[in-house]
Structure 1
Amino acid sequence: MKQTVAILGGGHGAHAMAADLVSRGFSVNMFEMPQFRDGVRDLFATRRIHATGVIQGTFALDKVTDDIDEAIDGVRYILVVTPAFAHAEYARLLRGSVSTDQVVLLYPGAFGGLLFRTVFGDGECPIVAEVNNLPYDTRLTGPAQVAIYGFNKVNIAFMPADRGADLIGEVRAIHPFDKVYTDVLEAGLSVVNPGVHSGPCLLSVTAIENAAKRPFFLYEHGVTPASCRLNVQVDNERKAIGRRLGYALTPIEDFSGLPEGYSWQELYMNLHGNIALTPISGPHDLNSRYFTEDGPYGLVPWSIIGKAVGVETPVIDSIINIYNVIHERDWWAHGRSSADLGLDGLSVDQIMTYVRTGNRTASEADQFGAVATG
């Protein structure tokens, strides 16, 4: 009997994942928010996705719906395949509908496991797992059509971490996760995209603004020696945060196959001209998720956690501050916060217990929340 999974989201990654899972024998229920239904009307009408690239064919879905209860009814695994800025809305949507014997997987996570736990509350909660990256390099090429250029190695963490050992065997039927992180805090610090996109995006702002006049391809035009030097510094700062918390972070190495301690030259040679990345067009404007996801939902929480544990992040902070200016928005206020993640009032030891067990006890004596949000 085929296993049925629910895929929530209607973008590039969701289409690629649906095609991939159907190609491997899964039945797929796909959900899109009612307000975005018109954008995927062909998918609703045909229930079929045409894929090209490393996965080829036309794949029939079991259901395509904008009714969340219909989408998740009877399924064990709920895969949320959306940008991080949609996580809060999906968490609120699932609250009260998802059962404790279901498992929610977030692609990519960006501390979403903690956010979902905060939204669901401290009562009986489903297990939430988060993945550090999309498993595919992919883009929509037309209505219900997706090009899948390549596969990415991906790692996973569970909230609470203590439940991971019971689940990892069956979860690997969905994706062959390379590594199980210690917990969702390590997973959030290991999200790949902010460490890959930040340098090329920041240093290509004017080219991206002019993309309507001249085509822009990030990995072809934006990956330069200077942008790779910037990426190395971003990665070094988040690794320093990881060391303070006891993690040996290697997200860029896991993604690229580079050795630990890689140089900017090695990073440049790995990204520029990469056959799976070079064909990816864009970003085409400054509101791309390469800015509005990677900054507030990647760089901001990294900085917050860094300050809480006494690690300075001057390059990360500078990028966020420049994004504040070019977007005319305070991403410090609108990104992932300590309160979003349920960390206010917890000591570092209490945080580590919380992500391991799902239990937390606030301490008035501790200043984690005050430092992180101040």
Structure 2
Amino acid sequence: MNIAIIGAGNGGQTMAAHLTLKGHKVKLYDINESLISELNNVGGIHCDGVIKGFAPIEATTDLRGTLKDAEVIMCTTNANSHSKVAESIAPYVQDGQVILIFPGYWGALEFSEVLDRVGNNKRVYVAETESLIYACRYNKPGYVTVRGVKEKLEFATYPSEDVGQVKSKLEKIYPQLLPRESVIRTSLNNVNPIFHTPITLMNIGWIESEKDFYFYPEGASPSVVRVMEKLETERLALGKAIGVELSSALELLHRFYGVNESTLYEAINKNKAYQTGKAPTTLKYRYIYEDIPYGLVPISELGTALEVPTPCTDLLIDLAEMVVGEDLRGMGVKLERFGLKDMTKGEIIELLNY
């Protein structure tokens, strides 16, 4: 298939290499001219880890050319770029194209809102996944290490009625993608905020010392995991209030990586895909600036609107704001963005399950 990938970060480079090695025709786009130049100097992407090989890649800053013949548009940028990406691609999208956001972070709702607002009249299909399909990191441009590929990953579309049409295209690319009924399930099943935020905030001293440590094996101590479990309780309660059955974090690790442990602590620390991932050496990182505004803030917002208490979620948001000295709530996903602010509980639940 002809595939366009927007964003040449960890996920984008890994995806471009993997799908090229699988025989698809891939174009990799990024606005970062220096990064694209370095990728083109390498001539492609070298993979090691669970995926091995060298994939010749067409990397470009030409957005129109990237999207021209694409059947599927993969968005692998950070969540804070979703709105800008949607605005950028709106003039170039074509009837029948699938836009798939890895992972969602409410991205399907955001893309749909932007495309409607700018007057897009093309029949495109907007979908999102609950997580990035790879556990990966690029070491330098054109060199990626892939620690794992998720075995089963859910996706949903907005509106939900498009899910069958999208599945027929995606199964040719990622047969492990499982269709589900609602993008609320995929966005709330994104456990990056549940995992990343407590580990980051409770290991601040180690991170700011700029010393190397393994994020999960050394950062997810029993006490840290207890905080994760409190966040998890609030996430699952919110899903119940909306009427969407969510997977627990333990169930997700089993589905993603085949991890069969009885506790979340054991599942995290015995997951092979988590063993070698290094922690960031700065708080200026997506674990703060993506997972909180686009992960925890919407949980807090919906909790308030639906009268579901979220004290642990709110505590971590407040702590992070004090630590970085910035208004992370103000950066985040707000109910008014999707027309939900003045709705009743019933109206909010109905729209979210559309």
Output the amino acid matched with 2:87: R
How does 1:1-374 map onto structure 2 within 5 Å?
3-33=1-31, 36-61=32-57, 63-121=58-116, 124=121, 126-152=124-150, 153-211=152-210, 214-257=211-254, 266-355=263-352
The residue that corresponds to 1:371 in the other structure is none
Greater Cα shift, 122-131 or 104-113: 122-131
Q: Residues 294-314 of structure 1: CA distance to partner in whole angstroms, max 9, x if unpaired? A: 111100001111111110100
> How far off is 1:351 after superposition?
4.3
Distance 1:266 1:145, change over 3 A: same
Output the amino acid matched with 1:22: T
Contact 2:98 2:166 in 1 (8 A): no
Unaligned ranges ≥5, structure 1: 259-263, 358-374
Distance 2:323 2:40 in 1: 37
Contact 1:118 1:342 in 2 (8 A): no
Distance 1:200 1:150 in 2: 20
The residue that corresponds to 2:258 in the other structure is none
Output the amino acid matched with 1:223: A
Q: Residues 244-296 of structure 1: CA distance to partner in whole angstroms, max 9, x if unpaired? A: 111121151343118xxxxx971111112432112111121111111111111
Contact 1:216 1:281 in 2 (8 A): yes
When the two structures are aligned, how many residues end up with a matched partner?
A: 345
Distance 1:176 1:236 in 2: 31
Output the amino acid matched with 2:132: L
Distance 1:80 1:251, change over 3 A: farther
Contact 2:100 2:126 in 1 (8 A): yes
Distance 1:200 1:111, change over 3 A: same
Q: Residues 116-173 of structure 1: CA distance to partner in whole angstroms, max 9, x if unpaired? A: 1111116535221011111111111222100001112321010110111222132122
SS at 1:137 equivalent: strand
Output the amino acid matched with 2:59: V
> How far off is 1:64 after superposition?
1.5
Contact 1:208 1:283 in 2 (8 A): yes
Distance 2:43 2:114 in 1: 31
SS at 1:133 equivalent: coil
> How far off is 1:354 after superposition?
4.1
Distance 1:145 1:94 in 2: 27
> How far off is 1:37 after superposition?
1.7
Q: Residues 313-337 of structure 1: CA distance to partner in whole angstroms, max 9, x if unpaired? A: 0000000000111111111111111
Distance 1:88 1:101 in 2: 21
Distance 1:46 1:180 in 2: 37
Normalising by structure 2, we get a TM-score of 0.92
Output the amino acid matched with 1:91: A
Contact 2:30 2:60 in 1 (8 A): yes
> How far off is 1:340 after superposition?
2.7
Distance 2:346 2:168 in 1: 29
Distance 1:312 1:194 in 2: 17
Contact 2:102 2:128 in 1 (8 A): yes
Contact 1:300 1:335 in 2 (8 A): yes
Q: Over aligned residue pairs, what C-alpha RMSD do you find?
A: 1.9
Contact 2:163 2:180 in 1 (8 A): no
Distance 1:313 1:10 in 2: 35
Output the amino acid matched with 2:330: A
Output the amino acid matched with 1:175: Y
The residue that corresponds to 1:367 in the other structure is none
